[in-house]
């Protein structure tokens, strides 16, 4: 037996539902309509099926929500033998299905004996709204909120009356506000001028996406008073929206900047500190990304989150080792010969790309994004920050700080700086310069590998991953000032932000070109970048 | 032997050191074989898509040889690697036609590679079977287009969305010839259907674009104007992953703003994290998921040939199957592999496609194809939600562009012209001015 309170709630909910659905006379669940709906769901055409879903919602039957949800979650099937609807969830239990109408359990021996009730895009849209209608009276305020948002702007006049009634008894302030917005939006189209005026005032400062277009329609209203009032409200809202728009662009810029910094920071060491023009830098990033893929796919396939965190040290080690091998075998023979280094490392980059093609296939590999990195934080109606970008910004700052500490506070860092500033003097002081070179290059390569882990969450993991970042990386390092870590940080972020502020006006292609032209001009004026290295070593 | 060595050397020079790439002529050189050139990139950017097509060709040739070859001779595949380098496509074509003396070439993927091959194949009078959906506006005497023309993919997809109530359109593409031409056609088509200028948003991004934040935010804003909005995507394969990821992260789902893509197929999806894509659409002429005996058999053969039970099939593969079968029939009908005789014989020939219909080679060197719209599923396959009744004939010259609506292509007598202007009543020449 169910507790009575639930039974009552169901009754109330059926009542409200029937109101919403426009069947104000039918208080009890209508069995005939429900049956008709079930029949229609078994039909072939999507239009019939959509009608079936609507009928099931209209019938006010207790099972309606469950059926519609199963339809949306692809868990509603029909038996091929006698066309009965069943709930079936392969993932939890592939051996049995539950009949929709009778509730009986049906053993499933062969999955192929069942046929899924297919839905299409439009149908799922309708189903979502039907479920939202039902969930308007769900006890969970989160669900009610989602429900109001779902049906916002897509409601009939009957439904609005129902929402109005609901909003009066709504305990949750946020849900109540949304419900009122919904009602006010519809009141904007009212023929009664006073209602329209009141609604406009009620919508003051409301940044809901539906509000502005509706207010814009009112600008041409016959009543001058309404037009003026709509205009002031609209302008106030637009101002607010523009302001948040700038904030959003700033966030986009920071996030693009953090990607640039991450990609460039390893190069800031190999190119900036050591002076090696390393064209294979992008491929070291790619190796980091492939390490992530390998760990996630082969070593711990079911833990995308943990494997991602483990990938960070793993990618550092793998890319770092590859870097050391490259240094030991090729680059050390070419110190002081930048042109040959450029050609040799370009060759290495092609070798690494083709090696990855041969080992992993030329196809892109999919790296899963863990649950906690997907989605976004909704600040308000117009501003939301995507989580994966937030993590990458934070990650970039952490990597930068760690690298900074290594260079400034450890003995390795001291030796690296000593060798890069005055090689002969450092050797005279007992520093093994060749070993330090290898370690430095390894460090730069390892950092590139770590960048690869972050990039695997944002873009493709494929053989061409590195190529897309090599130019940007050089740009950032050169612009920031060769040999200066702070310069790399500042230049990465400023280029990112500049790019994103230009993009809306110039388009993605032109924005990139403009940034490049700007850097070329800038380098003409200040060949050593934003933060040139000072001192005798830099002049030599 | 010398030839093989040179082939390898060439690709080493262009692609650095090539690891394990199978760049060599298969089989022995004897006068008793019919040579088939396979011109697909096995290294570089496009290797991602084209390697599969090379394997498809090798499978088809092997199969034909098992059946006893062609005209009593064995077929021999000559595989070259143009390394995703467009000018190299032209060089390799010249090499195939003059040195290897192949009887036909199956190859190219990107439109720019086809455009690069075009002058060479016309000069040396070869045969090229091009298996990829493309922007149209071309009909060469020497090229057979077995992929979809815009009226066999883009326009039916837009029609489908219109039926679904879409009123506002975002045309998003990568910045190169295929998306630009396709979007021009779509824009003209939408306007002819009464869609207002302000309800169309066009956006181009560079190749491999990975930072979609602002664009997705724009699309979201554009879609919030109260009218049902859809994105028609001609975004090139690689840039799609970050695009769909960003859509998912910013909370745009397939029900609120559906995306219909023309470049995302089964092969590409196998490299995607499909979660953010589920429910979005793609338009093709073939899906691996189509239930049909011919298709089931083809998939079985493909998995056996690649010795990989997880390998997927896709639309351009089907196009090669159709192209190859038509070529085989044409050679048998003509009794020779001579270019002119085969080109003449092939027109009007029919072969079953893999989705239960018939592909017929038309006088404009395009074929008839069914149009299927599918929704992306979690397992990387498509579920067909709409298909045309019967097949659609490929149209070389779009009826919606001012420059090409008067042009027709007919390579049979008496017209024998790839771009005949029906108003001026004359043949414009090999390639029409844009």
In a shared domain, residues A119 and A21: yes
Residue with the bigger pLDDT between A3 and A462: it is A462
In a shared domain, residues A300 and A196: no
In a shared domain, residues A167 and A254: no
Q: What is the pLDDT of residue A167?
A: 83
Q: What is the mean pLDDT of residues B63-87?
A: 93
Q: What is the mean pLDDT of residues A335-342?
A: 88
Q: What is the pLDDT of residue A384?
A: 85
Q: What is the pLDDT of residue A314?
A: 96
- Give me the residues of B, 371-400, that contact A with CB < 8 A: 375, 383, 385-386
Q: What is the pLDDT of residue A28?
A: 53
Q: What is the mean pLDDT of residues A197-220?
A: 84
Q: Min CA distance, B421 vs chain A (Å)?
A: 36
Q: Min CA distance, B418 vs chain A (Å)?
A: 34
Position A230 in a domain: no
In a shared domain, residues A424 and A285: yes
CB-nearest to B238 from A387, A389, A464 is: A464
Q: What is the pLDDT of residue B239?
A: 80
The fraction of chain B above a pLDDT of 70, given in percent, is 91
In a shared domain, residues A360 and A424: yes
Torsion angle of the four alpha carbons A393, A396, A398, A400, in this order, in degrees rounded to the nearest 10: -140
Q: Min CA distance, A366 vs chain B (Å)?
A: 5
Name the domain count of chain A: 3
pLDDT at position A337 over 90? no
For B321-350, what is each residue's pLDDT tens digit? 999 999 999 999 999 999 999 999 999 999
The residue whose two tokens read 């009949």 is A99
φ/ψ of B272, rounded to 5, equals -105, 155
Chain B positions touching A467 (Cβ under 8 A) are 208
Residue with the bigger pLDDT between B144 and A7: it is B144
Phi-psi bin for B256: left (phi > 0), alpha (psi -120 to 50), beta? alpha
The complex's ipTM works out to: 0.76
Q: Residue A374's pLDDT band (boundaries 50, 70, 90)?
A: confident
pLDDT at position A161 over 90? no
Domain that holds residue A159: 136-222
* A186: helix, strand or coil: helix
In a shared domain, residues A122 and A141: no
For B154-202, what is each residue's pLDDT tens digit? 999 999 999 989 999 999 998 888 899 999 999 999 999 999 999 999 9
Position A228 in a domain: no
In a shared domain, residues A106 and A201: no
Q: What is the mean pLDDT of residues B143-150?
A: 95
Among A67, A99, A129, the domain-final residue is A129
Please judge whether B205 and A214 are an interchain contact, meaning their C-beta atoms are less than 8 angstroms apart.
no
Q: Residue A3's pLDDT band (boundaries 50, 70, 90)?
A: very low
Q: Which two tokens stand for residue B210?
A: 């990975």
Q: What is the pLDDT of residue A327?
A: 93
In a shared domain, residues A156 and A291: no
Q: What is the mean pLDDT of residues A1-24?
A: 48
Residue with the bigger pLDDT between A220 and B66: it is B66
Interface test with B, best of A189, A254, A354 (most B CBs within 10 A): A354
- Give me the residues of B, 136-175, that contact A with CB < 8 A: 164-165, 175
pLDDT at position A84 over 90? no
Chain A positions touching B258 (Cβ under 8 A) are 121
Among A129, A151, A176, the domain-final residue is A129
Q: For chains A and B, what is the number of CB pairs under 8 angstroms? A: 154
Q: Min CA distance, A370 vs chain B (Å)?
A: 11
Q: Residue A124's pLDDT band (boundaries 50, 70, 90)?
A: confident
Please judge whether B256 and A125 are an interchain contact, meaning their C-beta atoms are less than 8 angstroms apart.
yes
Q: Min CA distance, A332 vs chain B (Å)?
A: 21
Q: Which two tokens stand for residue B333?
A: 């009908």
In a shared domain, residues A368 and A427: yes
C-alpha A350/C-alpha B328 separation (Å) is 39
Chain B positions touching A188 (Cβ under 8 A) are none
- One DSSP character per residue, A307-351 reads HHHHHHHHHHHHHHHHHHHHHHHTGGGGTT-HHHHHHHHHHHHHH
Q: Residue A534's pLDDT band (boundaries 50, 70, 90)?
A: low
Position A253 in a domain: yes
- Give me the residues of B, 204-233, that contact A with CB < 8 A: 204-206, 208-211, 213-215, 217-218, 221, 224-226
User: Under 8 Å CB-to-CB from A15, ≥6 apart: which residues?
Assistant: A27, A60
Q: Min CA distance, B60 vs chain A (Å)?
A: 22
Position A343 in a domain: yes
Residue with the bigger pLDDT between A82 and B326: it is B326
Position A232 in a domain: no
Q: What is the mean pLDDT of residues B354-383?
A: 93
Q: What is the mean pLDDT of residues A400-411?
A: 92
C-alpha A43/C-alpha A64 separation (Å) is 18
- Sign of CA pseudo-dihedral B263, B267, B273, B276: positive
User: Under 8 Å CB-to-CB from B212, ≥6 apart: which residues?
Assistant: B205, B242, B243, B246, B247
Position A46 in a domain: yes
In the sheet that B426-427 helps form, which strands lie side by side, from edge to edge? B407-410, B417-421, B426-427
In a shared domain, residues A480 and A517: yes
Q: What is the pLDDT of residue B19?
A: 38
Position A238 in a domain: no
Q: What is the pLDDT of residue A19?
A: 47
The fraction of chain B above a pLDDT of 90, given in percent, is 61
In a shared domain, residues A313 and A344: yes
What secondary structure, in 3-state letters, does B306-370 show? Answer: HCCCCCCCCHHHHHHHHHHHHHHHHHHHHCCCCHHHHHHHHCCCEEECCCCCEEEECCCCEEEEC
Q: Residue B104's pLDDT band (boundaries 50, 70, 90)?
A: very high
Q: Residue B429's pLDDT band (boundaries 50, 70, 90)?
A: low
For B239-262, what is each residue's pLDDT tens digit? 887 898 888 888 888 888 999 999
Position A443 in a domain: yes
Q: What is the mean pLDDT of residues A39-56?
A: 88
C-alpha A57/C-alpha A73 separation (Å) is 17
Ordered structural domains, chain B, with CATH:
2-148+299-369 (3.40.50.2300), 151-289+372-392 (3.40.50.2300)
Residue with the bigger pLDDT between B358 and A505: it is B358
Comparing CA positions, the residue from B4, B289, B339, B370 lying closest to residue B141 is: B339
Mean pLDDT (chain B, rounded): 87
What secondary structure, in 3-state letters, does A264-285 show? Answer: HHHHHHHHHHCCCCCCCHHHHH
Q: What is the pLDDT of residue A27?
A: 44
In a shared domain, residues A267 and A416: yes
Q: Residue A10's pLDDT band (boundaries 50, 70, 90)?
A: low
- Give me the residues of B, 309-348, that contact A with CB < 8 A: none
Q: What is the pLDDT of residue A535?
A: 55
Among A99, A129, A159, the domain-final residue is A129
Interface test with A, best of B207, B217, B219 (most A CBs within 10 A): B217
Beta-ladder partners of B168: B229
Q: What is the pLDDT of residue B13?
A: 42
């Amino acid at each position: 037996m169910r507790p009575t309170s639930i039974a009552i709630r169901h009754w109330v909910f059926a009542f409200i539902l029937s109101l919403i659905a426009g069947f104000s006379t039918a208080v009890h669940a209508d069995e005939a309509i429900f049956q008709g709906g079930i029949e229609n769901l078994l039909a072939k055409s999507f239009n019939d099926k959509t009608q079936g879903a609507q009928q099931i919602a209209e019938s006010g039957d207790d099972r309606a929500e469950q059926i519609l949800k199963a339809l949306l979650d692809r868990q509603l099937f029909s038996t091929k033998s006698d066309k009965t609807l069943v709930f079936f969830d392969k993932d939890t239990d592939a051996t049995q299905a539950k009949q929709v109408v009778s509730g009986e359990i049906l053993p499933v021996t062969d999955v192929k004996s069942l046929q899924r009730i297919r839905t299409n895009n439009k149908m799922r849209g309708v189903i979502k709204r039907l479920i939202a209608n039902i969930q308007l009276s769900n006890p969970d305020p989160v669900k009610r909120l989602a429900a109001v948002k779902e049906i916002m702007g897509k409601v009939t006049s009957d439904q609005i009356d129902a929402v109005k009634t609901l909003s009066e008894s709504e305990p949750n302030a946020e849900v109540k506000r949304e419900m009122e917005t919904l009602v006010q939006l519809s009141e904007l189209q009212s023929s009664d001028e006073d209602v329209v005026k009141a609604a406009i005032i009620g919508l003051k400062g409301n940044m809901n996406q539906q509000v502005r277009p509706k207010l814009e329609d009112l600008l041409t209203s016959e009543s001058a008073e309404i037009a003026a009032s709509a205009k002031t409200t609209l302008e106030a809202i637009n101002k607010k929206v523009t302001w948040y728009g700038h904030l959003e662009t700033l966030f986009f810029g920071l996030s693009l900047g953090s990607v640039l910094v991450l990609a460039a920071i390893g190069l800031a060491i190999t190119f900036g500190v050591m002076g090696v023009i390393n064209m294979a830098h992008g491929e070291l990033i790619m190796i980091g990304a492939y390490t992530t893929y390998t760990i996630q796919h082969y070593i711990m396939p079911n833990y995308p989150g943990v494997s991602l965190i483990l990938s960070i040290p793993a990618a550092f080690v793998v890319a770092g080792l590859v870097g050391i091998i490259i240094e030991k075998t090729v680059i050390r023979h070419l110190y002081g010969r930048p042109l040959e280094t450029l050609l040799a490392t370009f060759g290495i980059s092609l070798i690494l790309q083709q090696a990855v093609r041969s080992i992993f296939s030329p196809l892109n590999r999919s790296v899963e994004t863990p649950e906690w990195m997907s989605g976004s934080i909704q600040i308000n109606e117009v501003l939301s920050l995507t989580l994966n970008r937030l993590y990458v910004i934070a990650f970039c700052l952490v990597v930068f700080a760690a690298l900074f500490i290594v260079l400034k506070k450890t003995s390795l860092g001291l030796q690296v700086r000593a060798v890069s500033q005055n090689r002969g003097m450092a050797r005279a002081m007992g520093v093994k310069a060749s070993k330090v070179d290898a370690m430095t290059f390894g460090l730069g390569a390892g950092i590139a590998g770590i960048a690869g882990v972050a990039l695997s969450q944002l873009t493709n993991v494929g053989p061409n991953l590195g190529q897309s970042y090599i130019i940007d990386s050089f740009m950032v390092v050169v612009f920031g000032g060769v040999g200066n870590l702070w310069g790399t940080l500042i230049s990465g972020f400023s280029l990112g932000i500049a790019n994103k502020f230009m993009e809306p006006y110039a388009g993605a292609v032109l924005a990139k070109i403009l940034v490049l032209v700007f850097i070329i001009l800038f380098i003409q004026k200040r060949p050593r970048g934003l933060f040139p290295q000072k001192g005798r070593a830099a002049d030599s | 032997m010398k030839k093989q060595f040179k082939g390898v050397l060439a690709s080493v020079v262009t692609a650095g050191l090539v690891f394990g790439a199978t760049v060599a002529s298969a089989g022995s050189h004897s006068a008793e074989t019919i040579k088939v050139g396979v011109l697909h990139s096995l290294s570089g950017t496009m290797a991602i898509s084209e390697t599969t097509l090379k394997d498809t060709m090798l499978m088809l040739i092997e199969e034909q040889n098992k059946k006893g070859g062609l005209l009593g001779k064995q077929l021999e595949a000559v595989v070259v690697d143009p390394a995703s380098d467009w000018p190299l496509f032209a060089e390799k074509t010249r090499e195939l036609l003059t040195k290897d003396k192949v009887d036909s070439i199956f190859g190219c993927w990107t439109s720019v590679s086809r455009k690069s091959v075009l002058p060479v194949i016309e000069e040396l009078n070869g045969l090229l079977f091009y298996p990829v959906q493309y922007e149209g506006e071309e009909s060469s005497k020497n090229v057979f287009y077995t992929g979809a023309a815009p009226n066999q993919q883009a326009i039916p997809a837009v029609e489908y969305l219109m039926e679904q109530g879409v009123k506002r359109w975002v045309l998003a593409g990568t910045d190169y010839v295929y998306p630009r031409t396709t979007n021009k056609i779509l824009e003209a088509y939408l306007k002819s259907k009464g869609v207002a200028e302000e309800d169309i948003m066009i956006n181009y991004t560079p190749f491999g674009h990975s930072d979609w934040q602002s664009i997705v935010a724009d699309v979201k804003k554009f879609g919030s104007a109260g009218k049902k909005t859809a994105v028609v995507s001609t975004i090139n394969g690689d840039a799609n992953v970050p695009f769909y990821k960003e859509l998912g992260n910013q909370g745009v789902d397939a029900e609120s703003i559906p995306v219909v893509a023309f470049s995302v197929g089964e092969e590409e999806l196998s490299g995607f994290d499909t979660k953010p894509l589920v429910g979005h659409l793609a338009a093709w002429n073939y899906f691996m998921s189509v239930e049909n005996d011919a298709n089931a058999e083809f998939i079985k053969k493909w998995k056996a040939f690649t010795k990989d039970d997880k390998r997927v099939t896709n639309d351009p593969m089907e196009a090669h199957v159709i192209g190859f079968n038509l070529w085989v029939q044409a050679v048998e009908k003509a009794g020779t592999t001579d270019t002119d005789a085969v080109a003449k014989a092939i027109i009007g020939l029919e072969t079953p496609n893999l989705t239960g219909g018939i592909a017929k080679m038309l006088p404009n060197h395009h074929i008839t194809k069914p149009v299927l719209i599918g929704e992306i599923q979690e397992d990387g396959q498509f579920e067909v939600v709409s298909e045309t009744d019967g097949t659609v004939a490929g149209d070389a010259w779009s009826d919606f562009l001012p420059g090409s609506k008067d042009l027709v292509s007919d390579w049979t007598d008496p017209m024998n012209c790839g771009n005949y202007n029906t108003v001026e009543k004359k043949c414009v020449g090999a390639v029409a001015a844009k």
